[in-house]
Amino acid sequence: MTKKLLFVGTILLVAVCVAMAADTITGKWTYEMQGRGGGGGGGGAAPATPRVVTLDLKVDGATLTGTILQPMGGRGMGGGGGAPPAGGAPPAPTPTPISNGKVNGNTFTFDLTRTTPNGDMTTKYEGKVSGDTMHLTITRPDMGNGPMPPQEVDAKRATT
């Protein structure tokens, strides 16, 4: 009887821990990325405007799903081919689904794959949540100029 109670208690404890992890990670999170390049060219160019990135994540057991809304801005915005004229607003971003999402307690990993003219590019995300702060390590693919160092950012839980 004691072994049976211990087993049931352990199962309940695991279920509570999984539910707590889901509560910790699930939701909307935002962080800022510095935009590329300033305006105008030349020595006195204004600094680029930071871009707000939004993660919308959902935990189901040990699986993480969701989307990232990330304004691209910067490149290719000089007009022609349906792009806005130089100095115009970049196109509105659309949410991109994440893949390979895994959760272990308050830590998680996932991939974000974008299709580009140069083929698919996969960015890898690793994170850990503590309260209303999510620390992310973002590893971007090699774009032909050698590997980029991982980027560290802190996201905050979005208030609705």
According to the model, what pLDDT value does residue 154 have? Answer: 95
Residue spans per domain, the chain = 2-34+49-157
The CATH code belonging to domain 2-34+49-157 is 2.40.128.30
pLDDT tens string 144-160: 777 789 999 999 998 76
Share of the chain above pLDDT 70, in %: 66
pLDDT of residue 69: 93
CA 113 vs. chain centroid, Å, equals: 11
Count Cβ atoms below 10 Å from residue 93 Cβ, excluding itself: 16
From 75, 121, 79, 118, select the one nearest 96 (Cα to Cα): 121
Question: Model confidence over 36-84: pLDDT tens digits?
Answer: 555 444 455 666 778 899 999 999 999 999 999 988 654 433 333 444 4
